[in-house]
Amino acid sequence: MVDVDKAVIARLKKGEHIFEILVDCDKALELRHGKSLSVRDVVATDDIFKDVKKGDKASELLLTQVFGTSDIETIEKKIIKDGEVQLTSQHKEKLREEKRKRIIEIIHRNAIDSKTGYPHPPQRIENALNEAKVHIDEYKTAEQQVDEILAKIRAIIPIKFETREIAVRVPARYAGASMLILKKHKLLKEEWTNDGLLVAIVEIPAGIQDEFFAALNGITHGEVQTKLLNTK
């Protein structure tokens, strides 16, 4: 069991009832995300409360009525997995930093400078986030926050999201290996000639166009042919 003084509350609402337990924040989140842990290594006590702060414990009868069992570990695991885990300030900061990096990565891969057509370097995007005083919400996914953040930094750097349709023509001897790259993206068209030549159309985020071309050129030793068909 973990130290009670360092524990946080995990809470689950079931109908009109609230059930709370004391847990280690990091271990509880690891258990929620699928890590194989014993519940005993996550909780601080074997008590299940209606209100931790008041010391009001849930009765065995109530637990059985609501959860269909009085097995404490089974109920504790359900509270951790299905309920809300109170985050420590350190864990909130860690989540914000992880999501900040993910947001920068998403913008770098998908966005371009609306004036030059080239991708913004990650450092430039990070500087724009700092200048715009962007707040990262630790409770939302990076993907849920990108549009709002993009609107804020657009006043600082010229930026827009763009996808590009690229036609690709690959000699037969490199076609199989090239397909491994093409299938990582949205493959719109795939045709094979009688002599094994591969002709394809793929949609990619604008920010990774150079990376995409470099990967194909590396596999084909420069023998690939590409053409920009459309942007949107």
Q: Do residue 168 and residue 152 come from a single domain?
A: no
In CATH, what number is assigned to the domain containing residue 177? Answer: 3.30.70.240
Average pLDDT score over the chain? 94
pTM over 0.75: no
Residue type, 55: G
Tokens of 46: 């074997």
Q: Do residue 131 and residue 152 come from a single domain?
A: yes
Q: pLDDT digit string (tens) for 144-176?
A: 999 999 999 999 999 999 999 999 999 999 999
Domain that holds residue 205: 163-231
How far the first Cα of the chain sits from its last, in Å, is: 55
Q: Do residue 69 and residue 134 come from a single domain?
A: no
- List CB contacts of 5: < 8 A, sequence separation 6 or more: none
C-alpha to C-alpha distances, 88 to 36, 39, 65, nearest whole angstrom:
22, 19, 32
pLDDT above 90 (res 115): yes
Q: Do residue 37 and residue 11 come from a single domain?
A: yes
Q: Do residue 33 and residue 78 come from a single domain?
A: yes
Q: Do residue 81 and residue 109 come from a single domain?
A: no
In CATH, what number is assigned to the domain containing residue 129? Answer: 1.10.10.900
Long-range contacts (CB closer than 8 Å, 24 or more residues apart) made by 185-194: 185/212
Q: Do residue 8 and residue 81 come from a single domain?
A: yes
Q: pLDDT digit string (tens) for 45-60?
A: 999 999 999 999 999 9
Q: According to the model, what pLDDT value does residue 33 have? A: 86
Q: According to the model, what pLDDT value does residue 83 have? A: 94
Counting the structural domains of the chain, the total is 3
pLDDT, average across residues 193-206: 94
Under 8 Å between Cβ of 70 and 60: yes
pLDDT above 90 (res 135): yes
Under 8 Å between Cβ of 224 and 174: yes
User: Where is the domain boundary, 113, 143, 161?
Assistant: 161
How far is 185 from 212, CA to CA, in rounded Å? Answer: 10
